[in-house]
Amino acid sequence: MVGTMDLLTLLLLLLLNIVGICNGGVTSRYVRKAEPSVDMPLAAFPPPPGFNAPEQVHITQGDHDGRSVIVSWVTPDEKYPNVVTHWEANSKRKHKTHSIIKTYRYFNYSSGYIHHATIKRLKYDTKYFYQLGSGNATRRFHFTTPPKVGPDVPYIFGIIGDLGQTYDSNQTFEHYVSNPKGQAVLFVGDLSYADDHPQHDNRRWDSWGRFVEKSTAYQAWIWVPGNHELDYAPEIGENVPFKPYTHRYHVPYRASQSTSPLCNSYHYMEGESMRVAFESWFVQHKVDLVVAGHVHSYERTNRFSNVQYNITNGISTPVKDPSAPVYLTIGDGGNIEGLADRYTEPQPSYSAYREASFGHAMLEIKNRTHAHFTWHRNHDNEAVVADSQWLFNRYWYPEEEHC
């Protein structure tokens, strides 16, 4: 006779099999429009009411441990007030932190006053309110700090790349915002796509900051720059790379002992060089997941390493490697340049699932052994998952994922 614990174990295994269904070697035949999307008009992103009202509010983690938060905002008319006031949700004791202030010029554009304030010595897993501005331009937001880091601490990330500010971008963004599970966003580069407009129209940086504020002001977005943040345009006298991005998005790169808030600056357009440089480290240290954008499509790979790519004949030869990471290409946020809908044929053996659609992903870290990844196509309801996979940690649970 089967005991109660045996039944529970069987039920758990069945549930894991049901929710963990993943595709293998599939090129989705889902059809969506192939033409590029259209940017929403600037008028769709009005500034908040009130003189000198703080806008484009966004937060990111401020240190390596999760006890600091960087609050950033723009005041359009005057430098001051340059103070963020914060307090615990269950406390009346308030604390003030002053911001550093930056401005920049780009071609014929002059920025507002860009503020960055680092709030320190926060408690783990605690809700805080914070306030910016003064008088009738006062604005209030809130955030919750992450739990204390540990091998079995669960956490849920949204993953978005190449978002832009089109009507498709809005659908991607609203799909993510409507999902209550996300605690922070891993943003894998290419934010505003201002550089796709004449003279890199920097008003599009302002409109993008207003566009995403209803999420970025309330949960940390972890930023990585892409090629569309370069904004290097010597033909209009702009010779400083990444000028708008580095002024607007302040990240704690020194906390991780990095020397720059940017990618490997010598290889920012050389994907194969980066693979050669980093792949052996990924395999040696049993990295589980590598996430990238740039290509405007979605693809998930099997675990493989040392793909020998011949640029002349296009032949690739993957080698299955259980110590290698799964690679995710998720440059499918909805930007103005449209989809990349031409894949290598036949589908390479390293490719598990690929689809030329816009969407976003969720990464649910369960504990030290398991994480669950889901990809959500834009034209589906939020509850419908177009692709998914359970990820088993290579160090703590080196079992094959069968996908």
Residues designated catalytic: 267
**β partners of residue 354:** 27, 299
Q: Is the peptide bond before 81 cis (omega within 30 degrees of 0)?
A: yes
What one-character DSSP code corresponds to residue 302? -
What is the torsion angle, in degrees rounded to the nearest 10, for the CA atoms of residue 192, residue 201, residue 213 and residue 58?
Answer: 80
Map tokens 């990295």 to a residue: 287
CA distance 197 to 193: 8
Determine contact, residues 206/74, Cβ cutoff 8 Å: yes
CA distance 91 to 129: 10
Dihedral over Cα of 181, 185, 186, 189: its sign: positive
CA distance 378 to 360: 8
CA distance 122 to 68: 6
Q: Is the peptide bond before 346 cis (omega within 30 degrees of 0)?
A: yes
Among residues 65, 99, 68, the alpha carbon closest in space to that of 82 is found at 99
Query: What DSSP string describes 21-48?
Result: ----SEE-------SPP-BPPGGGSPPP
Among residues 25, 26, 30, 36, the alpha carbon closest in space to that of 384 is found at 30
Residue type for 322, please?
Answer: P
Residue type for 176, please?
Answer: Y
What one-character DSSP code corresponds to residue 213? H
Among residues 205, 208, 61, 56, the alpha carbon closest in space to that of 141 is found at 56
What one-character DSSP code corresponds to residue 216? H
Among residues 389, 350, 395, 310, the alpha carbon closest in space to that of 16 is found at 389
Among residues 374, 153, 111, the alpha carbon closest in space to that of 245 is found at 111
